[in-house]
Amino acid sequence: MTDHTKLRLDPIDADALEDLADAAGVAVPIEQAAVWDAYDAAIGERTPWGRLAAIDADDKVVAVIALTEYAGRGFTYVWAKHGPVWLTTPTADTEKALRDELRAFVASRSPHVVFVRLHAHHEADDLRPLLQTMTYDETVEVDLTPSEDDIMLAMGKTGRKKLRRTLRDEGFSLTEERGISREGFAELYDIYRETAGRDGFGIYPAEVYYSMLETLGDHARLFVARRTDEAGTDGPGAPGRAVSWVLSTFYDGVGQDYYGGSNLEGFETNAALRLKWYILMSLKAEGCVRYDMMGVGSAKAPGLMGVRQFKLQFAEETTPVDPSYDVPVKRMTYRALTWALAAKRLLKGSR
């Protein structure tokens, strides 16, 4: 019987990662694929760190993982976004064995790295809540293999009713906008800024989102809902004005939300619902088999409660996913960072 608590890590290249996952019948998340390296490289303070295969005592590859080095404010960490990619179903012991080997591997190769960020199915003592940002353990996934009618029937009753109503609205123009200029994207960024202000979340500079379109090529898809009438929420509006948009990714048969927003007019006309349906049907026609809406609120992710109701219009229930955690490599440094951030938040809250 194979001892899955003894693993070794061997460096591999991007092609080997894809081949191993393909042989196991496992889809590769776009963030673990070679195409993502160009996006990371285009964003300041991110560098592709390397790829590894986790191999058990029988020389069987049980997982593959791609990591990116992030330079934070005074510290560095590596992140396996949507990784490891498990080729077999891991036990808690197997996950722990991989983390132990990874911690040692990173410490020997990059002694400046303070922690590793990755996903895990089983909770464990060596896992820490994220030092910064948020994670989630539930999402909404839409199976795109059935017929269009059956996909609609699988929606929540309220969502299906609202979608049918908005499909009768002839004031929408829905398109995928390829080759948009920076000036054209500025209109969409203004909508995103409005969305962030309304919903209370932070956003990056516009260049981060535009770089995704530039570097990911056909794997980054920009969908926009525009109004063709002249009536706007605050008075007359020019036909062709954007009211909602979504930047999706599409890789290895899987589509997913990444960024997007709606202005007040889009909110009042259910533009996001109409646009999401257009995205689902467009990607389905191109062979997409599953669409992931990338997280909803839960006890672990209360900050995402605002999008839970909207996303559950497309499904009767949520899908559990593995949340992300920090794994300290330099334990004392990580502990000091934790204390410093806690003190900073306490000071901010007292003002």
Mean confidence (pLDDT) of the chain: 93
- Is residue 279 located within the same domain as residue 296? yes
- Is residue 255 located within the same domain as residue 202? yes
pLDDT at 231 over 90: no
Bridge-based pairing of strands 241-251 and 220-227 is: antiparallel
Model confidence pLDDT, tens digit, residues 17-72:
999 999 999 999 999 999 999 999 998 889 999 999 999 999 999 999 999 999 98
The answer as to whether 298 is a domain residue is: yes
**Tally of domains within the chain:** 2
| Per-position b or e across 229-242, b if 16+ CB within 10 A of its CB | eeeeeeeeeeeebb
Determine the pLDDT at residue 218.
95
Determine the pLDDT at residue 234.
59
pLDDT at 121 over 90: yes
Work out the pLDDT band at 346, boundaries 50, 70, 90: confident
Work out the pLDDT band at 242, boundaries 50, 70, 90: very high
| Residue among 12, 144, 1, 3 at smallest CA distance from 84 | 12
Work out the pLDDT band at 199, boundaries 50, 70, 90: confident
Model confidence pLDDT, tens digit, residues 132-144:
888 999 999 999 9
Domain that includes residue 250, residue range: 138-320
The answer as to whether 1 is a domain residue is: no
Give me the mean pLDDT over the 110-127 stretch: 98
- Is residue 270 located within the same domain as residue 340? no
Which SS3 state, helix, strand or coil, does residue 231 take? Answer: strand
Distances (CA, A) of 267 to 180, 264, 317, 324: 23, 5, 23, 31
Q: What is the dihedral of CA 173, 177, 183, 186, to 10 degrees?
A: 70
pLDDT at 233 over 60: no
Range with the poorest average pLDDT among 174-178, 234-238, 262-266: 234-238
CATH number of the domain within which 37 lies: 3.40.630.30
Determine the pLDDT at residue 63.
98
Determine the pLDDT at residue 73.
81
Which SS3 state, helix, strand or coil, does residue 186 take? Answer: helix
| Residue among 285, 283, 259 at smallest CA distance from 272 | 259
- Is residue 220 located within the same domain as residue 115? no
CB distance 37 to 14 below 8 Å: yes
